[in-house]
Structure 1
Amino acid sequence: MQICVVAIDTRGGVQPYAALALGLQQAGHRIRVVAPEDFTGWLIGMGLDAVPLPGRMDDAARAAAQTGFSRGVVPKGMREQLVRQSLANARALLDYADGSDAVLGGIGGAVLGLDVAERLGIPLVHAHLHPVGAVSPALTGVLTPWMPPWTGAAGNLIGSAITESALTLPFRAVSRAVRTEVLGLPRRRSRPSSARLSVYGFSRHVVAVPATWNVTGYWFLPEEQAWTPPAELVTFLDSGEAPVCIGFGSMVSGDPAATARTVTEAIRRAGVRAVLLTGWSGMSDIAASDNVLVIDQVPHSWLFPRCAAVVHHGGAGTTAAALRAGVPAVVVPHGVDQPFWAKRVAELGVGPRPLPRPMLSASSFATALRTTLADDGMRARAARLGELISAEDGITAAVDLVSRGLTRTT
């Protein structure tokens, strides 16, 4: 079966879809991955047929940071740009997906994938990294982690409704433009089918959702057997106690120099050793020292288990990697879904209270580091959760669900 996998996200969000694509390919399906152009070389290198959408995700992340899109609202100034980019993406996706038996995508992929699949007369497989896709009193809203616990089922119903509206309403104008200008479809979509195929790439040990949902466990890439750690990293890890890993992934800071100063001072106050992953955050201004190693990026599956704790931004993919590693996490959420994952980490007892990015200071950061490293119970809970997550085989479960589901619908 020919499946077009649409992965429109940052690196941490594309990686689980790459893992699922490899699993589907190994099961005998013909796979094409459609992703932003800055990821296609990486995807091709792992043996996938990958084709580029116009534009780079790192450029989009910088633009989003400058206009406030990271807070989950599409600013007025970005709307026309979003429509233009979506029209270009839709034209490319329509061409790439032609001849496929199905399109597969999550929040980012489904925005375009649903309309393109309708135009081609093929099903869309909803493959999500988050608990989204329904309004339910049993479902916590991903975009409403601030909802007080005492609101119970009513709060869940309100929160999940707010989340679903926030994930769909801002893109209705985009969908209408794509449908009429590119796909030749009616402006409005027909009512979605209740029989749609949905799979979820997270763990029930982390998020409680209705028992009827197809939750498979996380979608992790296989270990990179050919990858060799830099000699300087190995030397640093071997030269003292386990360090803290600090990295904010694809989150672009408006003032990277200020972020660098905050991180440096917190490391000094906490008296810890640290590996700093610069990523897209622009923190490369931090100078290496006997206690700090600055490096661009390292496979999380290799580095995280070798650290005493992980400090990250709370993206779905990075949260999954940190939880599987079995070490405590200090989460500094920047926006969108990140406060939700940060709250789950704290509620599970595998990390301290979140440190929202606007409230981050050297003092609060240092306190969180000291508290985390001194908490034996937190460390034990993190190790146990890591074992439970590692025991799941999310790829095999997802491949089986997708294969059986598409056999019934095509």
Structure 2
Amino acid sequence: MVLSTYGSRGDVEPLAGLAERLRGLGAEVRVCAPPDEDFAQRLAGVGVPLVPVGRSARAWTKAAPPASSLPQRAAEVIASQFDAITAAAEGCDVVVATGMMPAAAGALSVAERLGIRSVSVTFQQLTLPSPHRPPLAYPGRPLPPEVTDNRVLWDLDAQSVNALFGEALNTNRVANGLPPVDDVRDYVIGDQPWLATDPVLDPWQGTPELNVVQTGAWILSDVQPLPAELVAFLDAGTPPVYVGFGSMPMHASTDIAQVAIEAVRAQGRRVVVARGWAELGLIDGRDDCFVVGEVNQHALFSRVAAVVHHGGAGTTTTATRAGASQVVVPQLADQPYWAGRVADLGIGVAHDGPTPTFESLSAALGTALAAETRARATAVAGMVRTDGATVAAQLLLDTISRGGPTASA
């Protein structure tokens, strides 16, 4: 099987979880993803080769291009999908397409050209049309504020997707002997999209017309021990607060680190700072702070008092599963949605805006560290499913054995 994505760690990590389960069931798996070293190492840890696609996702993210260049960048992504997946999919039975929409469109087109079954998967439901909520706005294409009918907004979203990605997709499709598509979003979603999220943290709210298969989140069973120096720090005092923003570049990262560390200290807590793609670090030489790189997040989150993070789907799920209360400081895309879910469940706080101040973060931490919030986080942790990758792996194998379309979970 070929599992394809283009995006950040939050897009690659679930595929590592699915690949691990598939290999355990005897399947041969290849993952097509950006050529970042940490992605390759993560996949190597589960015995799966990385087939590099396109340029480094980290470099892409840090470049922060203007919104006007999005169609050009999409064209680059789609072309790289055709190049890499065509070779990687030789002899495979199923292509699983995830990641940003142009990447998924490219992967699905390759599967179509090769006559291979395919599954379209999203790690957040905000790209799936629903009358219960508006779509996400694309950079440079804001939704008209005077329009409040969600169905109309989703029609406008389809137009935006076609304007941004349609020409690039169809140019590559025609060059590879495929007919053009009229509606890029409908093509990517297909007849039966999969939603790989936890139903407690992310209950599907859609429409009967869209036959969504919610498998549960694809969680990689990380058994890597925490570094000895980190364990010694954790053992040396009361549980600290974790601060990390994953794959977000956080262009004001020095100020973010200063604000976060001072706000945590004001709560009488120690701090674990994750470098991440923002390259956060210490602000002084005091011994109440510890910096980490790539670690077993679930193991670490199980030992902290709270998690301050950006609201990526993976980090939110891991923190929820670990029973840690959260302060979510959303930066973009689906992150405000996850922040809202954390607040709605009573397991933490949705920070208002992407740039915390000492005052705003102190107030949020006060709520997150309260006994009732932490008790609620512990209770919700016991409701989170851990079998999503197993469910998805078995569905894929059942699909191959039947030789037909994918089945419902």
TM-score category (smaller protein): 0.7 to 0.9
Q: For residues 162 and 264 of structure 1, do their structure 2 counterparts lie closer, same or farther at Cα, with a shift above 3 Å needed?
A: farther
Q: Distance in 2 between matches of 1:303 and 1:62?
A: 27
Q: Distance in 2 between matches of 1:271 and 1:56?
A: 39
Structure 2 counterpart of 1:71: none
How far off its partner does 1:136 sit?
2.8
Equivalent in 388, 391, 399 of residue 383 of structure 2? 388
Structure 1 counterpart of 2:373: 378
Equivalent in 291, 315, 318 of residue 318 of structure 1? 315
Structure 2 counterpart of 1:364: 360
Q: For residues 288 and 53 of structure 1, do their structure 2 counterparts lie closer, same or farther at Cα, with a shift above 3 Å needed?
A: farther
Q: Distance in 1 between matches of 2:47 and 2:157?
A: 36
Q: Distance in 1 between matches of 2:190 and 2:26?
A: 25
The answer (yes or no) to whether the contact 1:12–1:316 under 8 Å persists in 2 is yes
Structure 1 counterpart of 2:30: 32
Q: Distance in 2 between matches of 1:246 and 1:260?
A: 8
Q: For 1:211-226, what aligned pairs fall within 5 Å after superposition?
A: 213-224=212-223
1:174 aligns with 2:168: yes
The answer (yes or no) to whether the contact 2:32–2:84 under 8 Å persists in 1 is no
Q: Distance in 2 between matches of 1:168 and 1:143?
A: 15
How far off its partner does 1:59 sit?
0.3
Determine which structure has the larger helix proportion and give its number.
1
Q: Distance in 2 between matches of 1:13 and 1:393?
A: 18
Q: Distance in 1 between matches of 2:111 and 2:17?
A: 22
Residue type at the aligned position of 2:216: G
Residue type at the aligned position of 1:98: E
Paired residue total? 387
How far off its partner does 1:285 sit?
5.1
Q: Structure 1, residues 358-379: CA drift from partner, whole Å, max 9, x if none? A: 4x111111111122112x2221
Q: Distance in 1 between matches of 2:162 and 2:45?
A: 34
Residue type at the aligned position of 2:95: V
The answer (yes or no) to whether the contact 1:36–1:56 under 8 Å persists in 2 is yes
The answer (yes or no) to whether the contact 1:143–1:159 under 8 Å persists in 2 is no
Residue type at the aligned position of 2:343: A
The answer (yes or no) to whether the contact 2:3–2:30 under 8 Å persists in 1 is yes
Q: Structure 1, residues 64-114: CA drift from partner, whole Å, max 9, x if none? A: 3xx36xxxxxx1134334423432332122221232222102243413112
After superposing on structure 2, the runs of 4+ consecutive aligned residues of structure 1 that deviate more than 6 Å are none
Q: Distance in 1 between matches of 2:280 and 2:27?
A: 41
Q: Which moved more, 1:189-198 or 1:101-110?
A: 189-198
How far off its partner does 1:257 sit?
2.0
Q: Structure 1, residues 95-151: CA drift from partner, whole Å, max 9, x if none? A: 2123222210224341311211121122220122111564232x434627xx9xxx9
Q: Distance in 1 between matches of 2:268 and 2:112?
A: 57
Q: For residues 40 and 162 of structure 1, do their structure 2 counterparts lie closer, same or farther at Cα, with a shift above 3 Å needed?
A: farther
Q: Which moved more, 1:319-328 or 1:19-28?
A: 19-28
Gaps spanning 5+ residues in structure 2: where?
A: 138-142
1:100 aligns with 2:113: no
Q: Which moved more, 1:85-94 or 1:243-252?
A: 85-94
Q: For residues 197 and 254 of structure 1, do their structure 2 counterparts lie closer, same or farther at Cα, with a shift above 3 Å needed?
A: same
Q: Which moved more, 1:207-216 or 1:54-63?
A: 207-216
How far off its partner does 1:193 sit?
10
The answer (yes or no) to whether the contact 1:90–1:112 under 8 Å persists in 2 is yes
The answer (yes or no) to whether the contact 2:240–2:270 under 8 Å persists in 1 is yes
1:62 aligns with 2:62: yes
Secondary structure, aligned partner of 1:28: coil
The answer (yes or no) to whether the contact 2:105–2:188 under 8 Å persists in 1 is no
How far off its partner does 1:240 sit?
1.1
How far off its partner does 1:161 sit?
5.2
Q: Distance in 2 between matches of 1:47 and 1:283?
A: 30
Equivalent in 169, 187, 198 of residue 180 of structure 2? 187
How far off its partner does 1:232 sit?
2.0
Q: Which moved more, 1:392-401 or 1:4-13?
A: 392-401
How far off its partner does 1:336 sit?
0.7
What is the TM-score when the length of structure 1 is the normalising length? 0.85
Q: Distance in 2 between matches of 1:244 and 1:193?
A: 40
Q: For 1:208-357, what aligned pairs fall within 5 Å after superposition?
A: 208-209=203-204, 210=206, 213-224=212-223, 227-284=224-281, 286-287=283-284, 289-357=286-354
The answer (yes or no) to whether the contact 2:128–2:189 under 8 Å persists in 1 is no
Secondary structure, aligned partner of 1:283: coil
The answer (yes or no) to whether the contact 1:270–1:367 under 8 Å persists in 2 is no
Q: Distance in 2 between matches of 1:223 and 1:123?
A: 30
Secondary structure, aligned partner of 1:34: strand
Residue type at the aligned position of 1:58: R
Q: For residues 285 and 195 of structure 1, do their structure 2 counterparts lie closer, same or farther at Cα, with a shift above 3 Å needed?
A: closer
RMSD between superposed Cα atoms in Å: 2.7
How far off its partner does 1:326 sit?
1.0
Structure 2 counterpart of 1:49: 49
Q: Distance in 2 between matches of 1:26 and 1:168?
A: 39
How far off its partner does 1:302 sit?
0.9
How far off its partner does 1:254 sit?
1.9
Gaps spanning 5+ residues in structure 1: where?
A: 69-74
The answer (yes or no) to whether the contact 2:129–2:154 under 8 Å persists in 1 is yes
How far off its partner does 1:57 sit?
1.0
The answer (yes or no) to whether the contact 1:87–1:177 under 8 Å persists in 2 is no
What is the TM-score when the length of structure 2 is the normalising length? 0.86
Q: Distance in 1 between matches of 2:303 and 2:226?
A: 12
Secondary structure, aligned partner of 1:306: coil
